[in-house]
């Protein structure tokens, strides 16, 4: 009987050790409904995400590429768009800051932002791409609101294979 209790105790310790090894801190992207406070959280591969929209004047797609920094800032690394016009960048500071690839304009940036505050409507088709999945931001909203805040925090995450559970 004593051997069974010892074996069970060792088993419990091993399981708890394995479970605690699967818990670690991760950067989490939060999309918060500003009116209700309801939010969605995402664990990001490589801390990267893309904010997409249709430009309101030119009606062409634009994508902004971000990475979460160590201090939970959103670092805008580049913007890719298809045409010049009102509201889109047209100047370069250095030759390496801008290029044209396959007919698309790529502007390289290095801008840190604490949070993004946005008003969402179905017309510009605002989207968020996380881990290869494109999410229409309008689908995350409560029907009574159109305003969101996007920011990063750090939380414990329990990871089993490709599955992440935010604690």
Q: Alpha helix locations (H) across 35-133?
A: none
Q: Other CB atoms closer than 10 Å to residue 130's CB: what's the count?
A: 17
The closest of 109, 114, 100, 12 to 65, measured between CA atoms, is 109
Q: Other CB atoms closer than 10 Å to residue 3's CB: what's the count?
A: 7
Residue 99 has pLDDT above 90, yes or no: no
Summarised one tens digit per residue, pLDDT across range 103-122 is: 888 888 899 999 999 988 77
Alpha carbons within 13 angstroms on the beta-carbon side of residue 146 total: 8
Summarised one tens digit per residue, pLDDT across range 115-162 is: 999 988 777 788 999 999 999 988 887 777 778 999 999 998 988 777
pTM of the model: 0.81
Task: Report the percent of the chain where pLDDT is more than 70.
Answer: 84
CB 80 within 8 A of CB 106: yes
- Band (1; pLDDT cuts 50, 70, 90): confident
What are residue 17's phi and psi, to 5 degrees?
-65, -45
């Amino acid at each position: 009987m004593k051997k069974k209790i010892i074996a069970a105790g060792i088993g419990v310790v091993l399981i708890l050790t394995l479970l605690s090894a699967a818990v670690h801190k991760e950067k989490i992207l939060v999309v918060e409904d500003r009116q209700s406070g309801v939010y969605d959280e995402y664990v990001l591969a490589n801390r990267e995400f893309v904010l997409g929209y249709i430009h309101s004047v030119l009606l062409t797609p634009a994508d902004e590429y971000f990475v979460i920094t160590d201090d939970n800032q959103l670092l805008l690394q580049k913007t890719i768009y298809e045409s010049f016009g009102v509201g889109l960048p047209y100047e370069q500071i250095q030759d390496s800051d801008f290029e044209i690839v396959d007919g698309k304009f790529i502007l390289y940036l290095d801008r840190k932002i604490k949070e993004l505050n946005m008003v969402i409507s179905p017309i510009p088709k605002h989207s968020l791409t996380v881990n290869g999945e494109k999410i229409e931001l309008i689908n995350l909203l409560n029907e009574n609101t159109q305003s969101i805040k996007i920011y990063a925090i750090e939380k414990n995450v329990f990871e089993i294979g490709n599955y992440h559970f935010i604690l």
